[in-house]
Amino acid sequence: MVMAADPDIERRRYVENMYPTVTVVAESEEVIASPDIDAIVVATPARTHFHQARRALKAGKHVLVEKPFATSLAEATELARIASTNNLVLMAGHTFQYAGAVTYIRDIIGKGELGDLTYVRSLRLNLGQFRTNINVLWDLAPHDLSILLYVLERFPKTVQATGRARVNHSVVDVANVTLDFGDQLAAHIIVSWLDPQKVRKMTFVGDRKMLVYDNMSPSKKIQILDKGIEIAPGHDPAESFEYAHRQGDILIPTIHEAEPLYVECEHFIECCQLGKIPRSGAASGAAVTAIIEAAQQSIRSGGKAVSLDMFDGAAPFEDWLDKTLTMLPGATSTVSDARAANGSPANDAFGEHGREPGQRYKAMVIDPDESRRVFAADALIAFEPGFDVVTVRGLDEASEWIETFVPDLLVMSENIEQSAAEELIDSVRKMPNGDRCRVVSVGRVGNGEAATAPWCHAAVSEGAGSQSGSRPSRMSSHTEN
């Protein structure tokens, strides 16, 4: 490792002390722009993963993105497309795919030792750590899902989920997810930040044997139990149901467990050096993202089953990803073109004095259209230094965020209709803290007009209300976006 970036001075000091040979900087842009850097690991707060990874890929770097790989399938496939177009390694930080125990389970299932699987139960529970920028699904479920897809080597057909937001009423902190894989196989996942004990346990129930994977156990990580229910021979269960418990041996295999994170990092380096597709490559990242996105949709609909027919039962993942990529629209805009079209709309929004130099601000880009959203966020990051940006699709997501994130600036696409924009601004203003946002629109490539539309100016002076003319709130140096 030769460079590390973190806007938080305490974290920079920590890295400097631990690794004196590493150059430590505040802005990730410095790492991304450095010609000496071949590969970048993005281990920042989840909502920043996409933008950091996208910028790094666009600068020609190989990228390892911590989980969650992205926070929407559109983001995940966009990253995958840039990587594949430019022959770059793109890897998801699905650490457990590098755990000896998980590889062992995959082998056992592959050899059919458990028989036909009936269900898998996965528990990932603890008290905290609460995150404000993503819910518990995005935080914890990537582990369960990446393990499941890796060991089962198949995609689920549907997902159903329910969730509760107990502590912070806008962030789901407990979720139950059921995946239906067809052929009578289901997986049940519970993820929680609200449980008294730390539990990391998966149970695989097969008709021949059962397997328990307890990642918290130092000596018995895996137990294979020769247990089951057997119907007495010659009995038709429909007539008279006689059964017996089978209580056989318990096998506790020795697992040669190197530190999974270490193995993961070595694998990333090897893939970069040899141009290999990583075990947890973009396809794994995109598949896990797609399932979580669908699970969120299910939570919002009160637990209805959401079809995952996009997978079309296809395996291997790479084939599915290739197919998905060809269906996506091509990239339509480049940030460098935006410079020509845009002045400094963000400065305009803060009034004649603009923003204070060196101060960091928070911006929220709101747009249902993925390419416009990404474009606006990129343009802001590239040409309006000092903004930490989150992107949201619409009002629902904005309201999940706005209380905790408290944006200084709300960015909309210029292409939005004025009436729709005014409605949107109105709704945002009514949310707690919503009246603090200034509003701006970032123009699209080829538009050629000033980026800040007149109705945005109106919204700024009118909407800023009691805060008109005053400075936006100061952000702490440790951002949580």
* Chain residues that interact with ligand NAD, rule: CB under 6 A: 5-8, 11, 28, 43-46, 48, 66-67, 93, 95, 478-479
In angstroms, give the least distance from the CB of 97 to ligand NAD: 10
Q: Which is nearer to ligand NAD, 261 or 420 (CB)?
A: 261
Determine the Cα–Cα distance for residues 128 and 121; give it in Å rounded to an integer: 21
Q: Which is nearer to ligand NAD, 71 or 441 (CB)?
A: 71
User: What one-character DSSP code corresponds to residue 350?
Assistant: T
Q: Which is nearer to ligand NAD, 48 or 371 (CB)?
A: 48
Using the CB atoms, write b or e for 147-168: b if 16+ within 10 Å.
bbbbbbebbbbbbbbebebeeb
* Count of other CB atoms within 10 angstroms of residue 18: 9
In angstroms, give the least distance from the CB of 7 to ligand NAD: 5
- Cβ neighbours for 168, distance < 8 A, ≥ 6 positions apart: 130, 132, 404
Q: Which is nearer to ligand NAD, 45 or 351 (CB)?
A: 45
In angstroms, give the least distance from the CB of 67 to ligand NAD: 5
Q: Which is nearer to ligand NAD, 46 or 117 (CB)?
A: 46
In angstroms, give the least distance from the CB of 365 to ligand NAD: 15
> And the tokens for 97?
């795919």
Q: Which is nearer to ligand NAD, 7 or 303 (CB)?
A: 7
Give the DSSP letter string of 385-446: TTEEEEEESSHHHHHHHHHHH--SEEEEETTS-HHHHHHHHHHHHHSTTGGG-EEEEEPPTT
User: What one-character DSSP code corresponds to residue 317?
Assistant: H
Give the DSSP letter string of 143-194: HHHHHHHHHH-S--SEEEEEEE--SSTTS--EEEEEEEEETTEEEEEEEESE
* Count of other CB atoms within 10 angstroms of residue 248: 11
Q: Which is nearer to ligand NAD, 221 or 444 (CB)?
A: 221
Determine the Cα–Cα distance for residues 355 and 363; give it in Å rounded to an integer: 13
CA distances from 80 to 34, 143, 302, 317, 395 (A): 22, 20, 31, 12, 27
Q: Which is nearer to ligand NAD, 10 or 249 (CB)?
A: 10
In angstroms, give the least distance from the CB of 62 to ligand NAD: 18
Give the DSSP letter string of 267-285: HHHHHHHHTPPPTTBHHHH
- Cβ neighbours for 381, distance < 8 A, ≥ 6 positions apart: 51, 55, 387, 389
In angstroms, give the least distance from the CB of 73 to ligand NAD: 18
Q: Which is nearer to ligand NAD, 95 or 178 (CB)?
A: 95
Q: State in Å, rounded, how far the first CA of the chain is from the last one.
A: 25
In angstroms, give the least distance from the CB of 48 to ligand NAD: 5
In angstroms, give the least distance from the CB of 377 to ligand NAD: 12
Burial of 250 (0-12, 13-18, 19+ CB in 10 A): middle
Q: Which is nearer to ligand NAD, 389 or 451 (CB)?
A: 389
In angstroms, give the least distance from the CB of 380 to ligand NAD: 13
Q: Which is nearer to ligand NAD, 53 or 341 (CB)?
A: 53
- Cβ neighbours for 185, distance < 8 A, ≥ 6 positions apart: 116, 117, 118, 119, 120, 152
In angstroms, give the least distance from the CB of 476 to ligand NAD: 10
Contact between 211 and 199 (Cβ < 8 Å):
no
H or E stretch including 265? Answer: helix 260-274
Tell me the HSE value of 221 on the side-chain side, using a 13 A CA sphere. Answer: 14
In angstroms, give the least distance from the CB of 43 to ligand NAD: 4
Q: Which is nearer to ligand NAD, 99 or 306 (CB)?
A: 99
In angstroms, give the least distance from the CB of 133 to ligand NAD: 9
